[in-house]
Amino acid sequence: MPESQEYELLDIPGLDNLKIAITPKMRRESGDDTGVRTREWTLTMDMIFIPALFIELFGWYAESERETGTDVGNQLFTSSSIKHSELVVVIPCGRHLATLENKLAGGEKISKVVITRFIRMGLFIELPIQITIFRGCYITMVQQYLDYLIVRLRISKKTVICTAFDQEGFPSGVGMFNVSFIAGETGFSLSDLLELAL
């Protein structure tokens, strides 16, 4: 297995030449007896991927942005607002395709979408180093691209939790961020913490 993770670029049809970095397809490397690489990213969307709670995430795109006026000398950005692009995820195709299509057709809300990045410690231990949570989501596009499934969602809230680990695998620090794109507010409220706990 290669020492460093290699990525491929996937063109997303119909999304203005958007290219998403995706993990390479599972393949056996020369001299590798394990047959497959270990997961690095996973995706959870409410209970859509039952019986598994999560699915491997091949790639994703999400961009936070602050709209500002033309006054570059004013760094307070008092008249600006924060916004977010649509979340685009690339996952393997499976029986969840029908569920996602039904959610799209019915305009059903997905309460929580969770993207988790793992690192491997030793042979068997996987530790989450980044968790990104999107809440109040609505699917705007489902596209089958051969073995890939591309899903685009509008989001209402975003939370990012990054954890650092020391050489022995113990947590050494946590960074957190939370924003509501509806209210335009950052920071955690009691209702945010209750939503995250559920």
pLDDT, one tens digit per residue, over 142-189 is 998 888 899 999 999 999 999 888 877 777 888 888 888 887 667 766
Instruction: Provide the pLDDT for residue 4.
Output: 41
Residue listed under structure tokens 């209210």: 183
Q: What is the pLDDT of residues 28-63, one digit of tens each?
A: 344 444 444 567 889 999 999 888 888 989 889 998
**Confidence at residue 147, expressed as pLDDT on a 0 to 100 scale:** 84
List domains and CATH numbers for the chain. 8-68+79-197 (2.30.110.20)
- Compute the C-alpha angle 34/115/54, nearest 5°: 60
Please indicate whether residue 105 or residue 75 has the higher confidence score (pLDDT). Answer: 105
> Which has the closest alpha carbon to 99: 91, 90, 108, 111?
108
Cα–Cα distance, 187 to 176 (Å, whole number): 9
- Do the beta carbons of residue 116 and residue 54 sit within 8 Å? yes
pLDDT at residue 113 tops 90: yes
Taking the alpha carbons at both ends of the chain, their separation in whole angstroms is 38
pLDDT at res. 131: 94
**If you ran DSSP here, which 8-state letter would residue 195 be given?**
H
Question: What pLDDT score was predicted for residue 19?
Answer: 79
The stretch 82-111 carries a mean pLDDT of 92
Q: Tokens standing for 173?
A: 């620090």
User: How many CA atoms lie less than 13 Å away from 172 in the CB half-sphere?
Assistant: 6
Residue type, 150: I
pLDDT at 133 over 50: yes
The Cα–Cα gap between 8 and 91 comes to 14
Query: How confident is residue 197, by pLDDT bands cut at 50, 70 and 90?
Result: low
The pLDDT value recorded for residue 3 is 37
- pLDDT for the residue 192: 64
Distance separating alpha carbons of residues 118 and 162, to the nearest angstrom: 11
Residue 77 has pLDDT above 70, yes or no: no
Whole-number pLDDT of residue 87: 94
Position 128 scores a pLDDT of 87
1 pLDDT above the threshold of 60: no
Can you give the pLDDT at residue 37? 55
User: In percent, how much of the chain has pLDDT > 70?
Assistant: 74
- Work out the mean pLDDT of the chain and round it to a whole number: 79
